[in-house]
Amino acid sequence: MEPTRERIESFENVRVIYTTNKPPRVLRGAYYTIYCILFALFYKGKLFVKYFETAGLIKKFLFWKKMILDIRTLAISADENIRNKYDVKLIKTCDYYNHVTIISEGIRDKMNINILKTSILPLGADIISNINKDFNQINLLYVGTLNGRKIEDTIKGCKLFSEKYPDCYFIYDIVGDGKGNILEKLTNIIEDDKLSDKIILHGFIPNNKLKPFFDKSNVGISYVPITDYYNHQPPTKTYEYILSGLFTIATNTYSNREVINNVNGVLIEDTPEDFSQALEFIHLNRNFDSKNIRETLIEHTWEKIVNSKLIPILENI
């Protein structure tokens, strides 16, 4: 049974509404969809809907209301049939809405929908840590899901690096959870590789408690498999790491190539050997600068994106 997680606190001028999370899933989904339809019916402002499985029903029932649909991702399942079914339904849902915002040009090209009814609303992030990092010791940080990301490659890469540089001490904090017994599997790998003194699995930690990890760390790990379905999907953590001044090890996907340069990070293939080589590069080159790292993506703070992109979109719909 999944442990109970803390409720998200409302931010200034943001109202967070909770609905039931009780099983079964079908009834929970139906309740949520009905609640969204009723909320939208009586809401007087602009309606901005982040895509979910039954998002099309909101617009179909309330066809006279102007609504924007937001697409943050296409399907990322390893199963091609599941990906195809998800993407077909998503694209069909786009037809119902007045306008569609999409996270990147690459995702829009793959969707092949009418460009005249779409806008690019790029990925952004907040500056979680303002501390300028000291790179004398390598302090690694991975934050995200542990399913389907091959995080075991990074652990094996750490082992290879440790064998080559046994006197180089480092810490690797892994924050996140996943389905099944993924934490147990990763724990066993860490213990088998005798890295328990260097690699720490923290499990799930809510976003509002991540700041100490970003303050402590100086290298971010943006590790997604290099596959067709991840290639154009910008990893959120790439932006969060860089905007917090962390030099970033990122897999060589199209989306990561758009933001990683020789100031803010290094691109690698999704193998333990390449991960080890990235650690070696950082170990031998300690002259990174957090201020310069942040500046490379400073236009991608959420505040700037909202003001320059989102507000004009809302005003024109």
User: ∠ at Cα 308 (303, 309), nearest 5°?
Assistant: 100
Instruction: Measure the CA–CA gap between 187 and 189, rounded to whole angstroms.
Output: 5
Among 244, 159, 143, residue whose Cα is nearest residue 199: 159
Q: How confident is the model at residue 1 (pLDDT cuts 50, 70, 90)?
A: very low
- Asked if 149 and 225 touch (Cβ cutoff 8 Å), the reply is yes
Q: Tell me the pLDDT tens digit for each residue of 39-48.
A: 999 999 899 9
Domain assignment of residue 9, yes or no = no
CATH number at residue 183: 3.40.50.2000
Q: Which amino acid is located at 167 in the chain?
A: D
Supply the pLDDT for residue 4.
61
Supply the pLDDT for residue 3.
54
Cα 118 from chain centre = 22
**264 and 144 belong to one structural domain:** yes
Q: Tell me the pLDDT tens digit for each residue of 126-180.
A: 999 999 999 999 999 999 999 889 999 999 999 999 999 999 999 999 999 998 8
Residue numbers of the domain that contains 218: 138-299
Supply the pLDDT for residue 262.
94
Domain assignment of residue 19, yes or no = no
Supply the pLDDT for residue 317.
82
Domain assignment of residue 15, yes or no = no
Rounded to an integer, the average pLDDT of 83-112 is 93
Supply the pLDDT for residue 72.
92
Question: Angle 151-164/272-284 helices, nearest 10 degrees?
Answer: 50
**174 and 109 belong to one structural domain:** no
Domain assignment of residue 2, yes or no = no
Cα 282 from chain centre = 24
Q: Tell me the pLDDT tens digit for each residue of 229-258.
A: 888 888 899 999 999 999 999 999 999 999
